[in-house]
Amino acid sequence: MRSVFYHKILAPLESTSRANRDRYSQLFLARGGYLLPLVLVVLVLLWVKSLAIDVDRHNQYLAHLRQIQTLDARIDRNVLQVRDGLLTYYDPIVNDLAQINRLQTDLQRAPSFVDADSRQELDRLLQTQRDLWQQKEESIFKFQSQNAVLINSLTYFPIAIADITKSTTAPALKERLNTLLRDILLFNLSTEKTLIPQIQREIAQISTTEGTTIKTVLSHAQIILNKRDRINDSVKLMMELPTAASSEKLAIAYNQRYQAAIDTTNNYRLWFYLLSIVLLGGIATWILLKIRAYAAATAQAEEKYRSIFENSVTGICQTTPDGRFLSANPGLAQIYGYESVAALMAHVTDIDRQIFVFPERRAELLRLLQTQGAVADFEAQVYRQDGTTIWTVENIRCVRDARGNLRYYEGTVTDINARKQAEAALQEAKLAAEVTNLAKSQFLANMSHELRTPLNAIIGYSEMSIEEITDLGIPSLVPDIQKIHGAGQHLLGLINNILDLSKVEAGKVELFLETFEIAPLLTEIAATMRPLVMKNHNTLVINCPPDLGSMHADITKLRQSLFNLLGNASKFTEHGTITLGAKREATGWLAFSVADTGIGMNPDQQAKLFQSFTQADASTTRKYGGTGLGLVITQQFCQIMGGEIQVASTAGTGTTFTIRLPDPVEPLSPEPASQNGHQQPNIITTLSTSVAGASTILTIDDDANARDLMQRFLIRSGYNAIAAASGAEGLRLAKEHLPAAILLDVKMPDLDGWGVLSRLKSDPDLADIPVMMVTIEGDRALSSALGAVDYLVKPVDYDRLMTLLEPYQTNSAPTSVMVVEDNSENREMICRQLTKAGWRVLAAQHGIEALALMQTEEPGVILLDLMMPEMDGFEFLRQLRQHPQWRSLPVIVLTAKDLTTEERQWLDSQTQRIYQKGAGNKQILDEIRTLIASHSSQRC
């Protein structure tokens, strides 16, 4: 029955009481920190209030009150003494009056513990006392005046009677005078009123006697009678003033206020003591609760850490330096494949050999611990109980005693076998992705060939058709053919954009940095884009300061970016204004802007910019066309050059694109060397020829690859080739060898090409040596790196082709041109164009057929496609250069293939010459012809 009562009633009550106690304890601990400062403030205030009475000031105030009372009694006594003739001077009275005035002035400053109401009451009583003392002081001064007259009469009255007595012979008069003197003196001393009538009769009797002296005596007697009575009345009134009562009343009132203040301060002091006791009790309780909470938290933390230790999947252990486990958790036993911690510790007695697959890894771990004290992320392969191996990572530290002696190691062990397997799988996936990326690159290269080949036929035949239809006099068909030609050109631009974007995404874009003037560049771009701008009846405005100067960047990519922006502005603006601007910012960066007054964009449309194959919205694509690649490529070019592109637009108002580039643009980090040991080629533009001769050609170029290639080409062509790596060295070699011609690079450190040219022309011995400047112009930087006579990308620009072939055509007989092309349509089209231009044409479908044809007739020039069946262009070049009589034969590469770096390097060493960077092809070949004979002239 008792057990049931306890479990049913007492136990719930105890549980509830314990819960309430814990809740109140937590509340006290939580709020105690906030209440303690408040209680301390209250205690300080109470203590200050309990010390509010200034005891020194209180004692001083009381002393002043008592001193006034003492001075009051002393003044009264001195006045009586003066009246009675016992005190003949007034200085004590005057000094006491002055002292009273000073004391009353000081009493006006009541002690600080007196409250405002009490202070007013004390001031009122003090003012009453001051008024009474002022009256008393006036009475004293009046008494002093009257007493002076009385003293004077008392002094001269006896003297005058003595004089009369000596001079008179009347005994009756002498007797009367002596009687009067006696009565007057007696009256002065006794102030008896009964003597006054007698003295008046005596005065009347004496007044009958004639004489001046008698009258003076009688006058003094009368003054003594009158003044003495008045002085007595004045002293009486003065004595009756309640100055003493007023002082006593003020003292009583002040004592009452003082006692009230004492009671108040005692109350404050009592509250202070009571609150101090409560505070001390609270602090003691708070400390006890804190200790209790800390103990509970410690127990809870120990329980939590014990739970973590027991339930953690990460292994936790302590090991001895000799390789034994001191302690371990179940997680560690599970990692090592043991059923329990006891089994692990019983079985493993040598961690080095029973756990570590490679014991030297354990030795390396111990060495690191000895030198560093702690080791993190130490990976190792370990054995499980079943003999299998897994990867683990350990985080271990040394535990030492107070004297620094090593006690044991402790730390964690984590199973990373799954991560290692994932890393292996990721590595395999990475290799697979690289293979896929290689396949993608090959696919893009092949697709460029496959797409450009039919485009070559479309564009070429359309151009031929326009010429033939014009010759036949059917101009009505020309617009249709021009539309076909325009569509082909548009598709070609699309293919080029896709290939450019693919290069950017693959990270294969290179920067060809050079210094160029900004204003001429913008003028050139404006001249190129003006027809397109005017197509929609727009006006092109250039906003460029003439003193903007130059910048160091990739001119090709900057030009293409501005072309893209101007093309977009021309497309989306009609009957408006397009502004091409440039300015230099305060940071040194250059900002190029293209602003239009076209349709503009809203914020949603702006958010879709710079996305591949995306325009502002579908309606824009339907109305204006386009692929959406131009802005993406422009943004990528800007980022590669370390800059950015910004857009600001308002729907219906217009759009402004701003390209911001640093000046100078920093070069890209060089790519690692390829597997065959060759570095990625520098895109160089130099000039050489295929004409043999004994002349010496000097090459001045700071690029080692460019110098090496040029020397090899010149030597292979029969020239004596010398090279210099700097402008100063080039000037020295020019003076020593007096070469027939100089190939001079413009962009070199220290002394650039323009400085070298200036010095050459100012030296009489060197001024006549022909100098050809070798520089970079971004549009042809990539093509010049192929190393052929020139580089034509399909579809072929036939006007350009004719210009390239012009140096090899002789007047005596048509020079033969061999066209090696597997596509019959392209081959037939090229042959027709060449035949029409007066060339004799040899045609071959592939390399094998071309080599067989060359056994019977050697052409003057070879137009070679690279991608062909049977034998491609690369293999054809290899076999062609194996024949000594064909090694100097000029070859023009015709390809739609997007060449790799390795292919460019190979063509660099196999084709006849490298095309000059920057200058126009016809101008270059004209300059070459003035120095050396052409290949056809040499053969003749």
CATH number of 696-808: 3.40.50.2300
695: burial class by Cβ within 10 Å (0-12, 13-18, 19+)?
Answer: middle
User: What's the pLDDT at 456?
Assistant: 64
Model confidence pLDDT, tens digit, residues 233-243: 778 778 878 88
Q: Is the pLDDT of residue 248 over 60?
A: yes
Cα torsion 70, 73, 78, 80 to 10°: value is -170
User: What's the pLDDT at 628?
Assistant: 60
- With pLDDT > 90 as the criterion, what percentage of the chain qualifies? 7
DSSP string, 653-684: TEEEEEEEE-SSPPPPPPPPPPTTSPPPPP--
Using 50, 70 and 90 to split pLDDT, how confident is the model at 413? very high
Using 50, 70 and 90 to split pLDDT, how confident is the model at 443? low
User: HEC string of 491-532?
Assistant: HHHHHHHHHHHHHHHHCCCCCCEEEEEHHHHHHHHHHHHHHH
Equal fold, 514-662 vs 696-808: no
The identity of residue 520, as a single letter, is P
Residue 460 CA: distances (Å) to CA of 453, 457, 481, 823 = 11, 5, 11, 13
Range 610-614 average pLDDT: 59
Range 617-638 average pLDDT: 64
Using 50, 70 and 90 to split pLDDT, how confident is the model at 882? confident
User: What's the pLDDT at 682?
Assistant: 35
Q: Is the pLDDT of residue 352 over 80?
A: yes
List, as own/partner pairs, every contact residues 286-295 make where C-beta atoms lie below 8 angstroms and the sequence separation is at least 24, other chains included: 286/28, 286/29, 286/32, 286/36, 289/25, 289/28, 289/29, 289/32, 290/29, 292/25, 293/25, 293/26, 293/29
Q: Is the pLDDT of residue 812 over 60?
A: no
Using 50, 70 and 90 to split pLDDT, how confident is the model at 656? very high
Range 462-468 average pLDDT: 76
User: What's the pLDDT at 800?
Assistant: 55
Greater confidence (132 vs 191) lies with 132
Among 168-172, 481-485, 762-766, the range of highest mean pLDDT: 762-766
Q: Is the pLDDT of residue 618 over 60?
A: no
Greater confidence (510 vs 272) lies with 272
User: What's the pLDDT at 392?
Assistant: 92
Looking at 3.40.50.1000, 3.40.630.30, 3.40.190.10, 3.40.50.2300, the CATH number of the domain 817-938 comes to 3.40.50.2300
Q: Is the pLDDT of residue 642 over 80?
A: yes
User: What's the pLDDT at 19?
Assistant: 58
Using 50, 70 and 90 to split pLDDT, how confident is the model at 884? confident
Cα separation of 185 and 182, whole Å? 5
Q: Is the pLDDT of residue 354 over 60?
A: yes
User: What's the pLDDT at 927?
Assistant: 39
Using 50, 70 and 90 to split pLDDT, how confident is the model at 773? low
Please, what is the end-to-end C-alpha distance for the chain in angstroms? 137
Superfamily of chain region 312-423:
PAS domain (3.30.450.20)
Among 34-38, 497-501, 557-561, 911-915, the range of highest mean pLDDT: 557-561
3-state secondary structure at position 157: helix
Greater confidence (779 vs 205) lies with 205
Range 600-606 average pLDDT: 82
Residue spans of the domains in the chain: they are 147-241, 312-423, 514-662, 696-808, 817-938
- With pLDDT > 70 as the criterion, what percentage of the chain qualifies? 74
Residue 537 CA: distances (Å) to CA of 135, 156, 526, 530, 626 = 117, 143, 15, 11, 20
Cα separation of 396 and 721, whole Å? 67
User: What's the pLDDT at 657?
Assistant: 92
Model confidence pLDDT, tens digit, residues 829-856: 788 877 877 778 889 988 899 888 888 8
User: What's the pLDDT at 508?
Assistant: 58
Range 305-333 average pLDDT: 86
User: What's the pLDDT at 170?
Assistant: 76
User: What's the pLDDT at 270?
Assistant: 84
Using 50, 70 and 90 to split pLDDT, how confident is the model at 592? very high
Model confidence pLDDT, tens digit, residues 567-588: 888 888 998 999 999 999 888 8
Q: Is the pLDDT of residue 797 over 60?
A: no
Q: Which fold has domain 514-662?
A: Heat Shock Protein 90 (3.30.565)
Greater confidence (152 vs 784) lies with 152
Using 50, 70 and 90 to split pLDDT, how confident is the model at 411? very high
Average pLDDT of the chain is 75
Greater confidence (17 vs 323) lies with 323
User: What's the pLDDT at 507?
Assistant: 56
Cα separation of 518 and 284, whole Å? 83
741-745 sheet: strands from edge to edge: 720-724, 696-700, 741-745, 771-774
User: What's the pLDDT at 446?
Assistant: 59
Model confidence pLDDT, tens digit, residues 450-463: 666 676 667 767 77
Model confidence pLDDT, tens digit, residues 192-227: 677 778 877 877 777 777 777 787 877 877 787 777
Cα separation of 730 and 698, whole Å? 8
DSSP string, 535-575: HTT-EEEEE--TT--EEEEEHHHHHHHHHHHHHHHHHT-SS
User: Hey, what are 288's tokens?
Assistant: 């006890």
Greater confidence (173 vs 918) lies with 173
Residue with tokens 């101090």: 276
Among 122-136, 648-662, 779-793, the range of highest mean pLDDT: 648-662
